[in-house]
Amino acid sequence: MAQTSSMKLLGARNMSCIVERMEWNNKMDLIAYGTEKGEVVIQRLNWQKIVTFPTPGEDVRVRSLSWQMDETLLAVGYSNGKVALLDAESETIISGLIYEDDIKKVFFSKAINSQENLGTYTCNAKDKHRKYLPKLQPLTNIDPCLKTLDQKSFPKGSPCFLVVIMRSGKVHLLLLGALQAGSIDLTQHILHPEQFDVYDVRLNGDFNAIYALLRDGQELKMLHFHNQVLQECMAPMLELATHCAHILETKNYINDTQQCLTEAWETVQLEMDNKLTKYANSQPYGLISAHFLELHVFGFATFEVEEFLFETLSEKGFKKIANSVDLSLSNLQGLVFKQLNGSAINMFYFLNTIAGFGRMSHFFESLISPDVANEAMRACGAFVLKVYELQRTIDTLVYDMKLFHAWMIFTILRLSHQEIPDDLVLTEEENIAMADFLCAMEPEMEDRSDDEDEVDPLSATPPPARSKFNLERVGQYLDNAYLTQPCPKDPSQVWEEMVAENDCLSHCKLFVPHDKNLSLVQQRDKMFNAIDAVFHKPTESISGSFKLASAVICGDLPPMEPGEGLEDREFVTCSYYVNEAARSDMLACTISWQEAMILEVSRAGDCLVRCTRIQLQPGIFTSPVHEDYYNLRFVDLQFYNESSLSMLAQTTTSNPGVRPHSYFVQFSLSAARNQCTQHQMGPLVKLKDATVTHSIHDIIDGAAFKGLDGVCEMLAVSGSRKVATVLSDRKRKMTIFEMEIEEEEDDTEMSQASFLEISKESVLAGVADSEKPDA
């Protein structure tokens, strides 16, 4: 006989929009839900809204939600291929990934127990770099809200896998949300790829195999893939993933510093553009350099120069420009010397550590290629040299600009017959340097006089850009193009002369190459490409190690016909649970509208799978039950814990005017253990022919029913939090129940009138909330 479920109504509320996904945090009082607008909302049990994350784009839907075990980190999969990691505590987007296909599901695995999985290798270098490397200074110019998804830090919680399932059948594994830990294309392992759909893919409790529930033609299958690399290399993978996360964070820091450099340089150009560059652009190319040089050497100023110095500029105005330019150049110096140089050194440290891992072939042979790691180190060393080259160029420009500013003020005072302070008088060495700067202010342009007759008069080719007081010496490093004015050789550098005289040194892989023609952006991209190549090896090794160990046929499905939806013909929903006590993996799935199958795969080495097949309808020997129980169908199901399965059911009726009734069913798995069948896992297991269906009404103390108000469509439960949430009224009403209450507190036998009163209260509460502006 059906029993009454022990649950207590905590509250109900009408939502302002349709809710499409729900997920409870297993430890904290937090529930996340995705709306039809693509927003993700996190709130507490008492309806207090914590944070709302906006949609990443127009017409983007939330496909999946998954909390990291015992953490405040939430993984969200979107319909446009984006996967975002959201932190409910800091209310920020931690990191993100972008794929080219629609997301089916994303989920976090259970936490990896390091003491169980590390074996003979010990991960003791997770934070060792903090002893040797200074902490990178924060970039105050970067607004966290302006960062893109791939510019954030990575989570530091318990080590676990993030699994991304695509609708196309591709599955991606990421360790610590950073290291690409393999992928698999399920369509390569089925017989009928033209009739394919994936429902769920899960890692087993030992992290050495995956289960894939999918459609193959007209059959519902569970494919079991074993992976030898995951089984043998979990400890080295954790070590590598930790350093991968540090490297990706350093890459993001370098990108942010590059953005700050560009902004600081634009500020310098803006200050120069105010007066000086406007005057330079009004003169023929080369004339301003000649006039300034004439003024410096002979002390004679042309009419145009005098007009510029006394009418356009003044001593006070030029000092203001000089101070602004000096401040901007000082900020530029600090960014290069501290932030950029520090992050480059950090990157070299992490890559050097990975290269050291590559020498331990016993542990890292399948994960790291030593030659590729060494090449990444050389590319990073070249980036360090390029940073030093930029720093030397900026120092030279700072010296020249200060000298130019002092000379301009000296000239203005001299021409206006004012008293000149002693500190403005240039020494002989400074006068020579000033003359060299003025000569190089407008570099010679390529002579095109021979080609003038061949130029098409209708050509719309723009003239070459004007040099702005030779600022291009620094600006060229921030462009994604080859340097137009390479850094001159330093006569004090003996090493450069040795490399120039000996080709064997320039081609030797023991030394870091220095390409003087590359800009900073090009050198950075070259380093990033070399780093990406380092992490191709683990992806290839793990992906190639997936082997199909067993195919379990769970049931039959209707055929897929072009242009015809299957929403009314098939219904497949599933839930997964890792039973640590029994060392087994549990999978529950519906195989039709009225039947479900519960699989328990042993991880003890005996290769056994237990199967319990149940149906909602009463059997031929079932005692009389309520008339609604004869016409029930599944709506949703989820594991409550290892011993209970929560199910949402609904009555079916052929009368269009009759509203269906909804029921919450708590099914006891321990009570149904006597009805399970045991099978040996092999290449092919046909459970649909080897199992018997049992009615949940015939299992003693097996099913507890609870009638619900409204037409319910979705379920979210948490056994650790002892709560259940139901969506009803076209997914616009959320109702929360407390589970496992004491008998004296059991007030579930509520009348229909009391449910209507609660519904009215929830409607009024929902209207009141909708009238309040969001915080």
**Which residues, in sequence order, are CB contacts of 428 under 8 Å at separation 6+?**
none
Instruction: Say how many domains are in the chain.
Output: 2
Confidence of residue 766 (pLDDT cuts 50, 70, 90): very low
Question: Given a cut of 50, is residue 300 above it in pLDDT?
Answer: yes
Measured distance CA(208)–CA(204) in Å, rounded: 7
In the block, which residue shows the tokens 């964070």?
249
Query: What pLDDT is stored for residue 696 in this prediction?
Result: 93
Please indicate, yes or no, whether residues 524 and 673 belong to a single structural domain of this protein: no
Confidence of residue 385 (pLDDT cuts 50, 70, 90): very high
In a domain, 291, yes or no: yes
Q: pLDDT digits over 16-62, tens only?
A: 899 999 999 988 899 999 999 999 999 998 899 999 999 998 999 99
Query: Which of 708, 742, 768 is at the close of a domain?
Result: 708
Please indicate, yes or no, whether residues 278 and 375 belong to a single structural domain of this protein: yes
In a domain, 742, yes or no: no
Please indicate, yes or no, whether residues 602 and 492 belong to a single structural domain of this protein: no
Query: What pLDDT is stored for residue 747 in this prediction?
Result: 47
Averaged confidence pLDDT in the chain: 83
Q: For the whole model, what pTM was predicted?
A: 0.81
Please indicate, yes or no, whether residues 592 and 534 belong to a single structural domain of this protein: no
Average pLDDT over residues 556-580: 77
Query: What pLDDT is stored for residue 278 in this prediction?
Result: 67
Please indicate, yes or no, whether residues 279 and 333 belong to a single structural domain of this protein: yes
The closest alpha carbon to 117, from 26, 241, 27, belongs to 241
Q: Which of 234-238, 295-299, 339-343, 470-474 has the lowest mean pLDDT?
A: 470-474
For helices 370-415 and 428-439, what crossing angle results, to 10°? 110
Query: What pLDDT is stored for residue 146 in this prediction?
Result: 40
In a domain, 102, yes or no: no
Question: Given a cut of 50, is residue 1 above it in pLDDT?
Answer: no
In a domain, 761, yes or no: no
Query: Which of 692, 708, 724 is at the close of a domain?
Result: 708
Q: Which of 174-183, 631-640, 705-714 has the lowest mean pLDDT?
A: 174-183
Please indicate, yes or no, whether residues 514 and 629 belong to a single structural domain of this protein: no
Read out DSSP for 6-57?
-EEEEEEEE-SS-EEEEEE-SSSS-EEEEETTS-EEEE-TTS-EEEEEPPSS
Question: Given a cut of 90, is residue 121 above it in pLDDT?
Answer: no
Q: pLDDT digits over 509-533, tens only?
A: 778 888 889 999 999 999 999 999 9
Please indicate, yes or no, whether residues 493 and 597 belong to a single structural domain of this protein: no
Measured distance CA(196)–CA(187) in Å, rounded: 8
Please indicate, yes or no, whether residues 501 and 588 belong to a single structural domain of this protein: no
Confidence of residue 292 (pLDDT cuts 50, 70, 90): confident
| Structure-block tokens of residue 543 | 């992906």
Please indicate, yes or no, whether residues 483 and 617 belong to a single structural domain of this protein: no
The closest alpha carbon to 596, from 619, 623, 617, belongs to 617
In 507-599, which residue ranges form alpha helices assigned H by DSSP? 520-534, 536-544
Measured distance CA(209)–CA(307) in Å, rounded: 80
**Which residues, in sequence order, are CB contacts of 308 under 8 Å at separation 6+?**
279
Average pLDDT over residues 202-220: 94
In a domain, 378, yes or no: yes
Structural domain of residue 351, as residue ranges?
Answer: 237-444+477-542
Please indicate, yes or no, whether residues 365 and 241 belong to a single structural domain of this protein: yes
Please indicate, yes or no, whether residues 517 and 642 belong to a single structural domain of this protein: no
In a domain, 774, yes or no: no
Please indicate, yes or no, whether residues 350 and 422 belong to a single structural domain of this protein: yes
Query: Which of 542, 558, 586 is at the close of a domain?
Result: 542
In a domain, 439, yes or no: yes
**Which residues, in sequence order, are CB contacts of 508 under 8 Å at separation 6+?**
none
- More reliable by pLDDT, 691 or 300: 691
In a domain, 757, yes or no: no
